[in-house]
């Protein structure tokens, strides 16, 4: 029998089998041996151990179309990255790390700035302008006023989308706006530190309509760059591409070389300063990770 993992809690996986319902399953040791863990979104084969109580075992994980590490989910078509325009203030460094991760995996990303009811139009536009050249579609939403929810529904249609973003930005609130069947728990953000309280603890796959699924996920607060070299970083910045032909050197890192097309575009305010500054910070981070790796292993790179 075949189904889809819609939730995983404390070693149990909840597998939705079309027309039959949800089975509470364990994963047999076989997966541990192969070092793969079932993920929410996985298509699996199960054997039923107790038909009355809807219990079973996962016996096979079918090949994945895609997999993410943060959040840990499988078989998604795209990610919906949510940050708030305020309360909490957007962390662009974390945002850019996520975009790099998505680009490295060849997955599309919708960038959503939520809580527009907390900021004026000009402030919202200033934030979305930073990402105008990032290759993402950008939405401004409010789970309170309903702004942008219609547009968001259109962007999700006929796809499986994982929601991602830090705690307290309104991921679960947005998921609740998109459908009525399952209402996820939401939590007020801490007034003192202006941060979310990690209300959502487990990823959950929810059907919005036939063929359209959304995954609510726990918030994350850090993301490390891995499995990449500093030279690969510039390919994660679509806004650099039109200006790289103007660099004097083919291998230009856009940091210190003379006659750099990217830095000229930065000075001309065509490439956004925040995006460029994060680029240089990540470049240095990857460079020092590579140096540390060489020192301890004699090999280049920062593999996990």
Contacts of 261 (CB under 8 A, 6+ apart): 243, 244, 245, 246, 247, 252
Residue whose CB is less far from ligand GTP, 57 or 173: 173
> How many CB atoms lie under 10 A from the CB of residue 206?
19
SS3 content of the chain, % helix, strand, coil (to 5): 30, 25, 45
What x/- string results for residues 145 through 174 when contact with ligand GTP is judged by CB under 6 A? Answer: ----------------------xxxxxxx-
CA distance 168 to 30: 37
Region binding ligand GTP by CB under 6 A among candidate stretches 64-72, 123-131, 187-195, 272-280: 187-195
Q: Find the binder of Zn ion among 76, 80, 112, 262 (CB under 5 A).
A: 262
**Residue 275, interface with Zn ion (CB under 5 A)?**
no
Tokens, residue 47: 């054997």
Q: What distance in Å separates the CA atoms of residue 23 and residue 55, rounded to the nearest whole number?
A: 5
Decide if 169 contacts 82 (C-beta within 8 A). Answer: yes
Residue ranges in 248-287 that form contacts with ligand GTP under rule CB under 6 A:
none
173 sits near Mg ion (criterion: CB under 5 A) = no
7 or 254, CB closer to Zn ion? 254
Using CA atoms, how far apart are residues 302 and 228, in angstroms rounded to an integer?
A: 7
**DSSP one-letter string for 88-153:** SPP-HHHHHHHHHHHHHTT-EEEEEEE-GGGS-HHHHHHHHHHTTTSS-EEEE--TTT-TTHHHHH
CB nearer to Mg ion: give 41 or 196: 196
Of the listed pieces 28-36, 188-196, 256-264, 281-289, which binds ligand GTP according to CB under 6 A? 188-196
Least Å distance, CB 205 to ligand GTP, is 15
Which residue in the set 10, 19, 122, 188 belongs to the binding site for ligand GTP (CB under 6 A)? 188
Least spacing, CB of residue 160 vs Zn ion, in Å: 38
Helix (H, G, I), strand (E, B) or coil at 242: helix
Binding-site member from 70, 159, 198, 202 for ligand GTP (CB under 6 A) = 198
Beta strand pairing call for 160-164 and 212-216:
parallel
**Shortest spacing between CB 160 and ligand GTP, in angstroms:** 19
Q: Stretches 97-105, 136-144, 198-206, 249-257: which one binds Mg ion (CB under 5 A)?
A: 198-206
Is 254 a binding residue for Zn ion by CB under 5 A? The answer is yes
The CA-based dihedral angle spanning residues 156, 161, 162, 166, taken in that order and rounded to the nearest 10 degrees: -20
Dihedral sign computed on CA atoms, order 76, 39, 237, 149: positive
State which residue, 190 or 288, has the beta carbon closest to ligand GTP: 190
Window of 114-122, 153-161, 222-230, 239-247 that interacts with ligand GTP by CB under 6 A: 114-122
User: Which region, judged by CB under 5 A, interacts with Zn ion, from 15-23, 181-189, 216-224, 259-267?
Assistant: 259-267
- Taking each helix axis from N to C end, the angle separating 273-297 and 92-104, rounded to the nearest 10 degrees, works out to 70
Nearer to Zn ion, 43 or 244 (CB): 244
Check binding of 218 to ligand GTP (CB under 6 A): yes
Residues of this chain that bind Mg ion (CB under 5 A): 171-172, 199-200
Residues of this chain that bind ligand GTP (CB under 6 A): 114-115, 117-118, 142-144, 167-173, 186-189, 196-200, 218-219
């Amino acid at each position: 029998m075949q189904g889809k993992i819609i939730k995983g809690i404390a070693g149990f996986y909840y597998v939705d089998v079309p027309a039959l319902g949800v089975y509470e399953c364990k994963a047999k040791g076989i997966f541990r041996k192969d070092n793969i863990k079932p993920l929410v979104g996985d298509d699996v084969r199960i054997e039923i151990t107790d038909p009355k109580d809807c219990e079973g075992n996962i016996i096979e994980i079918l090949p994945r179309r895609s997999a993410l590490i943060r959040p840990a989910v499988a078989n998604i078509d795209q990610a919906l990255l949510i940050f708030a325009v305020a309360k909490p203030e957007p962390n662009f460094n974390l945002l850019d790390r996520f975009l790099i991760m998505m680009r490295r995996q060849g997955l599309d990303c919708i960038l959503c700035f939520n809580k527009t009811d907390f900021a004026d139009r000009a402030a919202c536009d200033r934030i979305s302008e930073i990402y105008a050249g990032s290759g993402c579609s950008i939405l401004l939403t409010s789970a309170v006023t309903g702004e942008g929810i219609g547009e968001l529904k259109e962007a999700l249609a006929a796809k499986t989308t994982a929601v991602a973003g830090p705690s307290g930005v309104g991921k679960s609130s947005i998921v609740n706006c998109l459908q009525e069947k399952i209402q996820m728990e939401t939590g007020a953000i801490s007034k003192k530190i202006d941060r979310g309280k990690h209300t959502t603890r487990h990823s959950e796959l929810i059907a919005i309509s036939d063929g359209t699924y959304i995954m609510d996920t726990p918030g994350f607060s850090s993301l490390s760059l891995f499995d990449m070299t500093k030279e690969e970083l510039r390919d994660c910045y679509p806004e650099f591409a039109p200006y790289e032909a103007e660099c004097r050197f083919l291998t230009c890192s856009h940091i210190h070389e003379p006659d750099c097309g990217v830095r000229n575009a930065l000075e001309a305010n065509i490439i956004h300063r925040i995006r460029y500054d994060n680029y240089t910070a990540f470049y240095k981070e990857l460079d020092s990770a590579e140096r540390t790796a060489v020192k301890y292993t004699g090999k280049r790179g920062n593999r996990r």
